[in-house]
Amino acid sequence: MQRQDVQTEAVASPASVKPFQIRGRFFTAVALRLDARVDDAFLAALDAQISQAPAFFDDAPVVIDLQKVAEILPKPELVRLIDALKGRGLSVFGIQNGTEEQITAARAAGLIPLRGGREVPLERTARSSDPAPKAAPARPEAATRLITEPVRSGQRIFNDRGDLVVVASVSAGAELIAEGSIHVYGQLRGRALAGVNGDTKARIFCQSLDAELLAIAGLYQTSEGLGSEIRNERVQVFLRDEMLCIEKLR
């Protein structure tokens, strides 16, 4: 019998690399916390607030927080509010602290219910056959980000792990965003948003104040509200009793 050599070709196994990744990520959103029912006076006050800083609210992602009005806000008023926000160019996408009926109405309008203001681990229902859950990875330690060059108009500098320090000036149209405090050793003419993940103890410091907008943990003040006595002065900005305070540095 004649021997025949047979040559086989290796068959490539299916790729084991997943075609996607699921990652946690921080995003800045505006939380609209209602203190009153939605009527004509409420919408007029909303329009006045938007007119003070139109660039800040343009296409801004918005979460509706019903913590203070959940028991008194009827479904039609919630629907009216959602329509009003969308009609004013705000990208409302979530709702917090609502009743089951309010959450159902919000879902019907395309919103999603949210909990808290920080990233949380993904949850799943445990089954007896599941392996023991792994411990959640430790959150990275806070780290200060240092910027040594002037921040130009149109630039956005973000530190999601701690304080942001700028040893130069910040031009109009620039934006500083930090999980912690913001320090500007120069003139601040742009926008500064500190404590963006809800840190009410965060502060803003600058050598010369001429900002377009100042915000801490979602509470903000626009340039129109800055008095002449603090313009171009060394100041600190902080929260006291849920109010944004601006004081000269001594």
The domain that holds 181 is classified in CATH as 2.160.20.70
What is the number of domains present in the chain?
A: 2
Q: Give domain status of residue 228, yes or no.
A: yes
241 shares a domain with 170: yes
Q: Give domain status of residue 182, yes or no.
A: yes
CA distance 195 to 239: 11
151 shares a domain with 102: no
- Mean pLDDT value across residues 53-63: 74
Average pLDDT score, the chain: 81
Q: Give domain status of residue 138, yes or no.
A: no
Q: Is the pLDDT of residue 11 over 60?
A: no
149 shares a domain with 198: yes
List CB contacts of 111: < 8 A, sequence separation 6 or more. 64, 82, 92, 93, 94, 95
Q: Give domain status of residue 9, yes or no.
A: no
Judged by phi (left if over 0) then psi (alpha if -120 to 50, else beta), residue 195 lies in left
Q: Is the pLDDT of residue 84 over 70?
A: yes
- CATH code for position 88: 3.30.70.260
108 shares a domain with 61: yes
Taking a C-beta distance cutoff of 8 angstroms, is the pair 219, 204 a contact?
A: no
pLDDT digits (tens, 9 = 90+) for 94-127: 898 889 999 999 999 888 888 755 433 333 333 4
User: Smallest Cα–Cα separation from 73: which of 81, 63, 61, 62?
Assistant: 81
Bridge partner list, 246? 237
153 shares a domain with 85: no
217 shares a domain with 152: yes
3-class DSSP assignment, residue 43:
helix
CA distance 202 to 194: 6
Structure-block tokens of residue 204: 């803003």
Please report the pLDDT score of residue 139 as a whole number: 57
Choose one of 97, 113, 129: the last residue of a domain. 113
Q: Give domain status of residue 3, yes or no.
A: no
pLDDT digits (tens, 9 = 90+) for 24-45: 555 667 788 888 889 999 999 8
Q: Is the pLDDT of residue 185 over 50?
A: yes
**Tokens 């006045």 identify what position?**
48
Taking a C-beta distance cutoff of 8 angstroms, is the pair 209, 226 a contact?
A: yes
Q: How far is CA 63 from CA 78, 136, 145, 178, in A?
A: 13, 27, 28, 19
Percentage with pLDDT > 70 across the chain: 77
CA distance 246 to 225: 11
Choose one of 113, 136, 166: the last residue of a domain. 113
CA distance 28 to 50: 18
Q: Give domain status of residue 25, yes or no.
A: no
Choose one of 113, 137, 167: the last residue of a domain. 113
Q: Give domain status of residue 12, yes or no.
A: no
Please report the pLDDT score of residue 198 as a whole number: 84
Which run of H or E residues covers position 85? helix 75-87
Q: Give domain status of residue 168, yes or no.
A: yes
Query: Which residue range(s) make up the domain with 77?
Result: 30-113
**Tokens 């000036």 identify what position?**
169
151 shares a domain with 107: no
pLDDT digits (tens, 9 = 90+) for 193-211: 999 888 999 999 999 999 9
pLDDT digits (tens, 9 = 90+) for 119-169: 333 333 334 444 555 555 555 677 899 999 999 998 999 998 899 999 999
